[in-house]
Structure 1
Amino acid sequence: MLLRKQVRFHNASRLLTRFLPRRLQHHSSAETDTDTDGVAVMRDLPNRNRRLSLRFCVWLALKFESLVHQHSRNEVSCILATKEWCSLYWDALQLLKNSGIFITSESVRALIRTYSYMGLAEEAIHCFDRMSQFDCEPDAHAYNTILKLVLKKDFFVLGFSIYNVMLRSNSLPDDHTYTLLIGGFCKIGNFNAALEMLDDMTKSGVWPDVKTYTAIICGLCQWKKVDEAFRLFNTMKKNGYWPNLPCYNVLIDGFCKNGRIDEALSILPLLRKDGFELNLRSYRSLINGFIHAKRYSEAYVWYTKMFKRGILPDVILFSIMIRGLSEEGRVGEAAKMLDEITRMGLVPDAYCYNALIKGFCDIGLLDQAKSLQLEVSKDEQFHNAYTHTILICGMCRNGMVGEARELFNQMEKLGCLPSVVTFSALMHGLCKAHRIEEAHLLLHKMEIGRSPSLFFRLSQGSDRIFDSASLQKKVEQMCEDHQVLNAYKLLKQLAGSGVVPNIITYNILINGFCKTGNVNAAIKLFKDLQLKGLSPDSITYGTLIDGLYRANREDDAFKIREHMLKHGCQPGLSNLNAHMSWLNKKRKVSMAFSLYFEYLKSLPRRDSDSINALEDYFIRGNVKEVIRGLLEMDFKCRDFNLAPYTILLTGFCMAKKVDEALAIFSVLGEFNININPTSCVHLIDILCEEGKLDDALHIFLYTLEKGFMLRPRICNKLLKCLLLSIDKKDYAIDLVDRMQSHGYCMNTYHYDKPMEDGYESGGLLHFQDEPKVKRGRNVELQYLA
Structure 2
Amino acid sequence: MDQIGKLRKALFGNAENPKLAWLLFKRVVLSSSPHPPHYARTVPVIARILIRHGMLPEIDHLVGRVIDSEASQASLLFIVKSLASSGFCDAAVSHFKSIRARFPDCAIAVFVYNALIDACLKEHRCVDGVLWLYKDMIGAGLCPETYTFNLLMLALCDAGRVEDARNLFDRMHEKGCSPNEYSFGILVRGYCAAGLVDKSFELMDEMKRSRFSPNVVVYNTLISRFCKEGRTDEAEKVAERMREDGLLPDVVTFNARISALCNEGKVLEASRIFRDMQIDKELGLPQPNKITYELMLKGFCKEGMWEEAETLVSSMKEKFGTMTLQSYNVRLLGLVRKGGLLDWQSLIDEMVSSDVEPSVSTYNIVIDGLCKKGMLRDARSVLRLMRSSGISPDTITYSALAQGYCSKGKILEAGDVIHEMMRNGCSPNIYTCNILLHRLWKEGKVSEAEKLLQKMNERGYGLDTVTCNIVIHGLCLKGDLDKAIEILDGMWSHGSAALGNLGNSFLALVEDSNFSKKCTPDLVTYSTVISGLCKAGRMAEAKRKFAEMISRNLRPDSAIYDIFVYTYCKEGKISSAMGVLKDMDKKGCNRTLQTYNSLAQGLAKKNQIFELYGLLDEMKDRGLSPDVFTYNSFIRCLCEVDRLKDAASLLDEMIQKGVLPNIITFKIIIGSFCKTADFASAQEIFEMALHVCGHKEPLYCLLFNELLLGGNIEEAKDLFRVALDRQLDIGDFLYVDLIKTICEDDKLKDANGIIDRMIKRGYVVDPAMLMPVLDALNERGNREEAEELANKITEMVSDESFVSGANQKIGRRLHSRRNAHKGSDWRTILHRDDGSGIALRTLKRVQKG
Question: TM-score, normalized by length of structure 1?
Answer: 0.66
**2:537 is matched with which residue?**
520
Query: Which deviates further from its counterpart, 294-303 or 738-747?
Result: 738-747
**Quick one: structure 1 residues 416 and 710, their matched pair in 2 at CA, closer, same or farther if it must change by over 3 Å?**
same
Aligned to 2:529: 506
Which residue of structure 2 aligns with residue 362 of structure 1? Answer: 407
Aligned to 1:684: 704
Residue by residue, what CA displacement relative to the aligned partner does 1:318-356 show, whole Å, maximum 9, x if unpaired? 433342343355656756766877887777554233223
Q: Deviations over 1:494-524 (max 9, x none)?
A: 754555654641366258x5xxxxx433x34
Within the candidate set 647, 658, 662, 1:642 is matched to 662
Determine if contact 2:596/2:615 at 8 Å carries over to the other structure: no
SS at match of 2:257: helix
- C-alpha separation in 2, matches of 1:745 and 1:615: 36
In 1, distance between residues paired with 2:599 and 2:683?
18
Paired residues of 2:224 and 2:256 also in contact (CA < 8 A): yes
Deviation, 1:187, is 1.8
Query: Does structure 1 retain, via aligned residues, the 8 Å contact 2:666–2:686?
Result: no
Instruction: Tell me, in whole angstroms, the C-alpha distance in 2 between the residues paired with 1:333 and 1:446.
Output: 41
Q: Deviation at 1:387?
A: 2.3
Q: 2:684 aligned to 646, 650, 666, which one?
A: 666
Residues 577, 643 of structure 1: 8 Å contact kept: no
Q: AA paired with 2:700?
A: C
Residue 710 of structure 1: which of 715, 718, 730 is its match?
Answer: 730
Aligned residue type for 1:505: T
Distance 2:599 2:581 in 1: 16
Contact 2:230 2:264 in 1 (8 A): yes
Corresponding position of 1:8: none
Equivalence for 1:724:
744
**Aligned residue number for residue 321 of structure 1:** 366
User: Structure 1 residues 599 and 702, CA, compared in 2 at 3 Å: closer, same or farther?
Assistant: farther
Stretches of structure 2 lacking an aligned partner (at least 5 in a row): 1-7, 13-47, 64-72, 100-106, 131-149, 155-167, 496-512, 551-555, 585-590, 797-802, 815-849
Q: CA deviation at 1:236?
A: 3.1
Give 1:557-706 correspondences, 5 Å limit: 569=591, 572=594, 575=597, 579=601, 591=607, 597=613, 600-604=616-620, 623=644, 625-643=645-663, 645-649=665-669, 652=672, 656-659=675-678, 663-667=681-685, 669=687, 672-674=691-693, 676-700=696-720, 703=723
Corresponding position: 1:771 with 2:793:
yes
Match for residue 290 of structure 1 among 327, 335, 340: 335
Corresponding position of 2:152: 126
- Structure 1 residue 282: deviation in Å? 1.2
Shift of 1:706: 6.3
CA deviations on 1:205-235 (whole Å, 9 max, x unpaired) are 1111222111121223334443433333233
SS where residue 342 of structure 2 aligns?
helix
Greater relative contact order (CA < 8 Å, ≥ 6 in sequence): 1
Q: Judge which range, 309-318 or 48-57, deviates more.
A: 48-57
Look up the equivalent residue of 2:222 and give its one-letter code: L
Among 216, 221, 226, the residue aligned to 1:185: 226
Per-residue CA distance 1:129-182 (angstroms, 9 max, x = gap):
698799776655665567557755766567556645543444422222221221
Name the structure 2 match of 1:204. Answer: 245
Query: Matches of 2:789 and 2:489 in 1, distance apart?
Result: 64
Which of 516, 524, 530 matches 2:546?
530
Give the match for residue 485 of structure 1: none
CA shift for structure 1 position 559: 6.0
**C-alpha distance in structure 2 between counterparts of 1:648 and 1:596, whole Å:** 17
Shift of 1:203: 0.8
Q: Residue 283 of structure 1: CA displacement?
A: 1.8
CA distance in 2 between counterparts of 1:358 and 1:425 reads 15
The whole-number CA distance in structure 2 between the counterparts of 1:255 and 1:99 is 57
Q: Partners of 2:89 and 2:198 in 1: how far apart? A: 32
Distance 2:777 2:416 in 1: 77
Aligned letter for 1:724? E
Q: Which amino acid aligns with 1:772?
A: T
Aligned residue runs from structure 1 range 424-439, under 5 A: 424-430=469-475, 432=477, 435-437=478-480, 439=481
Q: Does 1:540 align with 2:563?
A: yes
SS at 2:794's partner residue? coil
Sort the Cα spacing of 1:594 and 1:99 in 2 relative to 1 into closer, same or farther, 3 A: closer
Cα gap change, 1:767 to 1:209, in 2 (>3 Å): farther
Q: Which one of the candidate residues 419, 422, 436 is aligned to 1:391?
A: 436
Structure 1: 5+ residue runs without aligned partners?
A: 1-19, 25-38, 61-75, 92-97, 454-489, 514-518, 549-555, 775-779
- Contact 1:580–1:647 (8 Å) recurs in 2: no
The answer to whether residue 468 in structure 2 is matched with residue 423 in structure 1 is: yes
Structure 2 counterpart of 1:11: none
Residue 21 of structure 2: aligned partner: none
Cα shift at 1:183: 0.9
* 1:312 pairs with one of 357, 373, 390: 357
Q: Quick check: 1:220–1:229 contact (8 Å CA) kept in 2?
A: yes
Alignment check: 8 A CA contact 2:671 2:682 kept: no
**Contact 1:600-1:606 within 8 A present in 2 as well:** no
CA distance in 2, matches of 1:396, 1:45: 49
Deviations 1:720-764 (A, max 9, x none): 3333335x655545545655666645455532597799489xx99
Cα distance, 1:264–1:705 mapped onto 2, change above 3 Å: farther
- Secondary structure at the aligned position of 1:451 is classed as helix
RMSD in angstroms over aligned alpha carbons? 5.6
Give the letter aligned to residue 391 of structure 1.
L
Alpha-carbon contact 1:224-1:258 (below 8 Å) kept: yes
Q: Which residue of 2 aligns with 1:442?
A: 484
Shift of 1:445: 0.8
Alpha-carbon shift at residue 382 of structure 1 (Å):
5.2
Counterpart of 1:296 in 2: which secondary structure?
Answer: coil
Q: 2:445 aligns with which of 383, 400, 421?
A: 400
Higher mean alpha-carbon deviation, 223-232 vs 764-773, is at 764-773
1:291/1:324 contact within 8 Å kept: yes
Give 1:245 deviation, angstroms: 1.4
Q: Tell me which moved more, 734-743 or 220-229.
A: 734-743
Alignment pair present for 1:253 and 2:298: yes
- Report deviation, 1:709: 3.2
1:529 CA displacement: 4.2
Give the conservation status (yes or no) of the 8 Å contact 2:465–2:519: no
Q: Does 1:237 align with 2:278?
A: yes
Establish whether residue 172 from structure 1 lines up as the match of residue 190 from structure 2: no
Please report the TM-score for the alignment, with normalisation by the length of structure 2: 0.62
d(CA) in 1 for partners of 2:779, 2:461:
89
Letter in 1 for 2:453: F
Q: How many residues align?
A: 654
Q: Is the 8 A contact 2:89 2:120 kept in 1?
A: no
Q: CA deviation at 1:631?
A: 3.3
